Amino acid sequence: MKFRMKKLILSSIAIGSLFLNAANAAPADNVYTPQVEYGKRELDYRYGWIGKGNDPHRNATLLGLGYGAGQYWYTELYLRYNREGDSGNRFNAIGWENKYQLTEVGQYPVDIGFLVKFELPDSRSQGFGLKFGPLFQTDFGNTQVNANLLFSRNYHADVPNPMRLDYQWQAKYRSNPLLEFGVQGFGEVGAWDHWAPRSQQTHLVGPAFFGKLPLAGRQAIKYSAAYLIDVSDAIHSKAFRAQVEYEY
C-alpha cells in the first residue's frame, strides 16, 4: 500500500505540473478530511466571500466533479469563478484536486491523508499553481477534530513568489448527522520558512454547521457552512463559506 500510494502521489505531481495558480486561502476553501470512499461520485458546489471594512466583498464560486477512483485515492476536477464587489462572475481557474488516504480509518489514534492540488489560471502571467500537504483527523469522544498544513506556490509566474504556508482546522460535535455544530479556522502565515509580520497574516475563525441528508441508495446531500472573523487585523474582516455536495 505504501509503495502504491507513493507512486500515485508522485504521478499526480508529475502529470499536474505539466499543465496546471496556487492561491492562499480563498473564500470558497473547505476543510479537507483524510478519508476516501471508493466508487463515490460527487457534484461539488462551494461558495464564499470575504470583506474588509467598507471595501467591496471578494466572492468565489467553485463547481467540481469528483470520484473515488481507488480505495485510497479521490480525485476532482473543478472550475472556479471570482467576483469583486458588484461586478459579474468571471472565470478564474481550472483545477485538479487529489486526496490520498494514507492510513486505515481507526488503525491509529490519528487518521492521516495527503492533498495534492493544481490550478491553471485564466491569466498566463500567474503561471500555474501547486498546493500540497498532510491532512489529520482524530476523535475526542463525540468530537471530531481535523487539522491540515498546506504549502503552496505559483510556478512560472511573472512575479517570483516563495513557498507559502496555510493551515485549516475544524472541530465538530457529532450528534444528529442531519445537523451538527462546530467551529472552523483558516490561516495564512506567509512564506513557510519566514513567517510574515503578524499584521500581514490572516487568521479566520468562527462557528460552523454540518449535515448529511441521505437519499435513495448511495445518494446523499452533504452540506456545511461557516461564518468567520479575522482575529488578526484591527478591522476584523468577515468571511462566509459554504459547501454542498451531491453524492451518488
Percent of the chain past pLDDT 70, that is, above it, reads 90
Q: Which residues, in sequence order, are bridge partners of residue 214? A: 220
In terms of pLDDT, which residue wins out, 184 or 158? Answer: 184
**In the chain, what's the furthest Cα-to-Cα distance?**
52
Considering the entire predicted model, what is its pTM? 0.86
Q: pLDDT per residue over 28-77, tens digit each?
A: 889 999 999 999 999 999 999 998 877 788 899 999 999 999 999 999 99
Sequence-distant (≥ 6) Cβ neighbours of residue 21 within 8 angstroms? 93, 119, 120, 121, 123, 126, 127, 128, 129, 154, 157
